[in-house]
Amino acid sequence: MSSKRKTLLNFLLIIILAVVTSYIVYPKNQGINIQKYGINYQNDLKFHLGLDLQGGTHLVYQSDLSQIKEEDRETALEGVRDVIERRVNMFGVAEPIVQTSKKDRLIIELAGIKDVNQAIKMIGETPLLEFKEEMNEEEKIEMREQFKDVEIPEEYLAQFFYKNTELGGKQLERADVIFDPNTNEAEVQLQFNSEGKDLFGEITKRNVGKKVGIYLDNVPISVPVVNEPITDGKAVISGSFSIDEAKMLVQRLNAGALPVPISLISQQTVGASLGKESIDKSLIAGFVGLFLLILFMIIYYRLQGLVSVFALILYSLIVLSIFKFIPITLTLSGVAGFILSIGMAVDANVLIFERIKEEIRKGKPITIAINEGFARAWSSIFDSNVSTIITCVILAYFGTSIIEGFAITLGIGVLLSMFSAIFITKNLLKIVATIKPLRNLWFFGVKK
């Protein structure tokens, strides 16, 4: 393939990339209506905003590790973090931040959750699953004797005739929603671990023909009669559930119990007004800075500066599209990282343009000067960007959520800035160089 044909093909790819990323970044249900051309397109992607931009709830919990051995405390705290993260994920919280701090603290940020009580209930609620078996006749007589002076109907008194077994939520492996093949009613199936399998088998063996109660938070949700021993480690809860009720019960059971007790020591609601004000100020600062940058690039580098502006716009569209696809939760620090990456993308263009001007001053043709300029600038661009990426990896791994957001957006931006410089800017300049009237050295910032 000839060099000219390859450049034209690359230019076509750049145009396609610009169109695709524009549709991705543009807000949902807005923009050009392309349905009349037979294309059914709907952009459902959206930016995920962090707590400081859209508001939400900030909670700090302290774990009680007094009963845990010193060498096991870190593992226990990580277990608490995992359970809480699993719980908030089940309730549809977008990009929750759950992290440990100060050896016994848990910091939880729930973007978009304005009801603090709802958040506290979501995190601190521990479903207590218990299996109870019927008392023998002597134990029932003793129980009736205890309540002989209290008027309690027999049907209500009957629920006291169950005693705890060793089987409970800690032996539960998972819960699933299933449907009765005869009635098509929603049921909840429980799958126990190896310990629970043995315990459930023993319970059902000694209670054939009797009732075994399944209790959740001390409330009987199913009291089936055992027809035969069940040794496969599975139990089915049937209680005339609606589908939503069955799903909610499964979510609560799968959320698990906390390894250690936790207590809330700090709570804070972050208003969306702060986030809106921050966004407005950031947009104003960004537009002013971008305008001044575009003005400088066009005045100083002329045609090359104009090309860099188009490359910069496309670079921004690509980065924002990546943020939507992954998705990246954007915080103020993340926005700062993105803006800094734009600056580094411009810096790469400046290095390239200066090298191109040097090659032109040596008397080389523009097309050759472009290739030589990119080749000479590449080593400097590569070294500086790689060192930045290494720094971003370190910050993302060891930093807190604020630093992590900054590092991730900056790292992604820097990686894509190299692609922008080598692929987009280079091919746009090559296309410009094929237009004869634009080969004038003045357009490339070089005096004749």
pLDDT, greater one: 232 or 48? 232
Helix or strand run (H / E) with residue 419? helix 401-419
Shortest CA distance to 253 belongs to which of 285, 281, 222?
A: 222
pLDDT the model gives residue 154: 57
Among residues 226, 255, 284, the one where a domain terminates is 255
Read off the pLDDT of each residue in 133-140 and give the average, rounded to a whole number: 79
Based on the fold, state whether residues 250 and 265 are members of the same structural domain: no
Return the exposure string of 56-73: e unless at least 16 CB atoms fall within 10 Å of the residue's CB, then b. Answer: bbbbebebebeebeeeeb
Closest-CA residue to 59 (of 103, 95, 108, 104): 108
- The answer to whether residue 34 scores a pLDDT higher than 80 is no
Give the closest residue to 220 by CA, choosing from 179, 140, 162.
162
Cβ neighbours around 228 below 10 Å, total:
9
CA gyration radius for the chain? 32
pLDDT tens-place string over residues 19-33: 989 888 876 544 444
Domain count, the chain: 3
Residue type at 178 in one-letter notation: I
* Coil, helix or strand at residue 214: strand
| pLDDT value at 410 more than 90 | yes
One domain, residues 302 and 326: yes
* DSSP codes of every residue in 100-123: EETTTEEEEEEET---HHHHHHHH
246 and 104 in one domain?
Answer: no
Amino acid letter for position 226:
V
Domain residue limits at 241: 129-255
The amino acid at residue 54 is: Q
For residue 94, give the CATH number of its domain: 3.30.70.3400
The answer to whether 429 touches 370, Cβ cutoff 8 Å, is yes
Residues 161 and 249 occupy one common structural domain: yes
Return the CATH number at 225: 3.30.1360.200
Give the dihedral sign, CA 273/97/83/234.
positive
Choice among 35-39, 198-202, 247-251 with the minimum mean pLDDT: 35-39
Same domain, yes or no: 247 and 306: no
Last residue of a domain, one of 270, 300, 327: 270
**Token duo for residue 358:** 């040097």
Structural domain ending residue among the three candidates 196, 226, 255: 255
Of 187, 171, 174, 199, the residue nearest 253 (C-alpha): 174
Q: Is the pLDDT of residue 333 over 80?
A: yes
What CATH number does residue 370 fall under? 1.20.1640.10
Same domain for 198 and 293 = no
| Cα 14 to Cα 2: distance, rounded to the nearest angstrom | 18
Residue 37 confidence (pLDDT) above 70: no
Q: In whole angstroms, what is the distance from residue 419 CA to residue 9 CA?
A: 16
Tell whether 109 and 92 lie within a shared domain: yes
Note whether 194 and 249 are same-domain residues: yes
Q: 276 and 266 in one domain?
A: no
Beta bridge mates, 395:
none
Better pLDDT: 205 or 69: 205
C-alpha distances out from residue 36 to 33, 40, 241, 247, Å:
7, 9, 46, 41
Do 315 and 430 have their domain in common? yes
Domain match, 32 and 61 both: no
- For 38, the enclosing helix (H) or strand (E) is none
The helix (H) or strand (E) run that includes residue 159 is none
In this structure, the answer to whether residues 193 and 328 fall within a common structural domain is no
- Separation between Cα atoms, residue 111 and residue 216, nearest integer Å: 30
Q: Is the dihedral of CA 435, 441, 442, 446 positive or negative?
A: positive
